[in-house]
């Protein structure tokens, strides 16, 4: 280990860290540009410049050895590696092109009216109630309805998708109690999930069929297309629900921001982006060094895991003025919540339309949005997640 690198005894998967990630993020940033986490034998970066550099340099910091804690050079992954997330150029180029085309603005824009219709129905209902839960009554039921619909999945399986996605995300961490519980719930759905993602199970006009169109163009095999659909669906639900829930929480705590959004629907997208910056739903990604590398003066040997704390980078005062302040007029482009570089989230545009539809529907109907009690966090290995968000509207 490089002698200039501080060694920290911090457990980013522990209960204490998850209760208050922000103070740990500050500790990580202040310790130095590169630190060593002895508990998991990994290197870590938490400042914006270094996290940005690692995420954008796939030649030195690869994803092919896994974007979670597991190092595929030393251990077998629990499922076949993702052709999209766990591959680097040149192998990554073809799957990326296929999924980018299937989720292009041209493909997702026609879905907007239906997304807005569902958002309007849901917002009308919660505003009539006066009090509601921003997670279980709003963000979650909305995504569970519109996301599977958009992909062309058979109706009624949304709750199963949540359980399966929870497992997929939790398994990017260690095999701790959280991961074991998630596996116990999710593994019985493994074959069911695979069947849902087959071409014959998907409706013709959905985003999933757009991925399978690559088979007809001779760009992918049937099996590859199925794996890509699985990757998109398992990654697209939980993190978007969390992003929308955090946006609602931050808006409820800022009457000025809510009034501004109510007066100007164009602020829905910036409000969502700023919430992603402040409370990044995916707290960290891993990369693995392909060779000995030098990073901010530290020398990291080959085939070592590097933990990128995107949540910490997104509040780095070296990059952002007054980083802990929620400001929906801030230019938060450049935040790393969707990743960066060749592995930036391919479904980001769709998540943005979902969030805009839901936020605007609520802003159109609710004069005020306020907390009706403290939010309740959900313990998770990877996601910064809420399980309850009591809200009041008038």
pLDDT tier, 200 (very low <50, low <70, confident <90, very high otherwise): very high
**Structural domains in the chain, sorted by start:** 7-393 (1.10.630.10)
* Residues 84-107 pLDDT 10s: 999 999 999 999 999 999 999 999
Give, in order, the Cα–Cα distances in Å from 248 to each of 259, 305, 352, 362, 366. 13, 34, 14, 10, 12
Sign for the CA dihedral angle at 65, 66, 71, 74 comes to: negative
Phi/psi of residue 385, each to 5°?
-130, 145
Q: Are 380 and 170 in contact (CB under 8 A)?
A: yes
pLDDT tier, 3 (very low <50, low <70, confident <90, very high otherwise): low
How many residues would you count in the chain?
394
Stretch 370-388: mean pLDDT, rounded?
97
- What secondary structure letter does DSSP report for 383? B
* Residues 325-351 pLDDT 10s: 999 999 988 999 999 999 999 999 999
Of the chain, the percentage scoring pLDDT greater than 90 comes to: 94
Within a 10 A sphere around the Cβ of 109, how many other Cβ atoms?
11
| 113 Cβ contact list (under 8 Å, min separation 6) | none
Q: How far apart are CA 274 and CA 276, in angstroms?
A: 5
Mean pLDDT over the full length of the chain: 95
| 347 Cβ contact list (under 8 Å, min separation 6) | 103, 232, 235, 236
**Two tokens, residue 277:** 């910056």
Phi/psi of residue 235, each to 5°?
-95, -15
């Amino acid at each position: 280990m490089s002698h200039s690198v501080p060694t920290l005894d911090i457990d980013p998967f522990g209960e204490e860290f998850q209760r208050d990630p922000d103070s740990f993020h500050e500790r990580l940033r202040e310790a130095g540009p590169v630190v060593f986490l002895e508990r998991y034998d990994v290197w870590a970066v938490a400042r914006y410049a270094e996290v940005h550099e690692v995420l954008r340099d796939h030649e030195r910091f690869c994803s092919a050895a896994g974007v979670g804690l597991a190092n595929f050079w030393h251990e077998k992954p629990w499922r076949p590696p993702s052709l999209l997330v766990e591959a680097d150029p040149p192998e990554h180029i073809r799957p990326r092109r296929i999924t980018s085309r299937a989720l292009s603005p041209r493909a997702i824009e026609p879905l907007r009216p239906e997304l807005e219709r569902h958002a309007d129905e849901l917002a009308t209902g919660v505003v009539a109630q006066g009090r509601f839960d921003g997670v279980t009554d709003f963000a979650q039921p909305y995504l569970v309805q519109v996301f599977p619909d958009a992909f062309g999945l058979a109706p009624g399986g949304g709750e199963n998708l949540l359980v399966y996605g929870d497992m997929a995300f939790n398994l990017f961490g260690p095999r701790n109690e959280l991961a074991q519980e998630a596996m116990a719930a999710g593994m019985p759905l493994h074959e069911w999930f695979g069947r849902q993602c087959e071409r014959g199970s998907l409706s013709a006009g959905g985003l999933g069929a757009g991925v399978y169109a690559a088979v007809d163009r001779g760009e992918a095999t049937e099996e590859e297309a199925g794996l890509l659909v699985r990757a998109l669906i398992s990654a697209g639900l939980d993190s978007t629900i969390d992003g929308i829930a955090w946006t609602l929480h931050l808006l409820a705590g800022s009457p000025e921001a809510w009034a501004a959004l109510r007066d100007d629907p164009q602020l829905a997208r910036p409000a969502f982006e700023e919430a992603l910056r402040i409370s990044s739903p995916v707290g960290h990604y891993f990369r693995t060094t392909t060779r000995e590398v030098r990073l901010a003066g530290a020398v990291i040997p080959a085939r070592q895991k590097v933990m990128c704390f995107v949540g910490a980078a997104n509040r780095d005062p070296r990059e952002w003025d007054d980083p802990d302040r929620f400001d929906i007029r801030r230019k938060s482009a450049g935040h790393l919540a969707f990743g960066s570089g060749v592995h930036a989230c391919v479904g980001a545009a769709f998540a943005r339309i979902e969030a805009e539809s839901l936020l605007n529907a609520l802003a159109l109907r609710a004069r005020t949005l306020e907390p009706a009690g403290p939010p309740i966090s959900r313990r998770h290995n990877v996601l910064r997640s809420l399980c309850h968000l009591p809200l009041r509207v008038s």
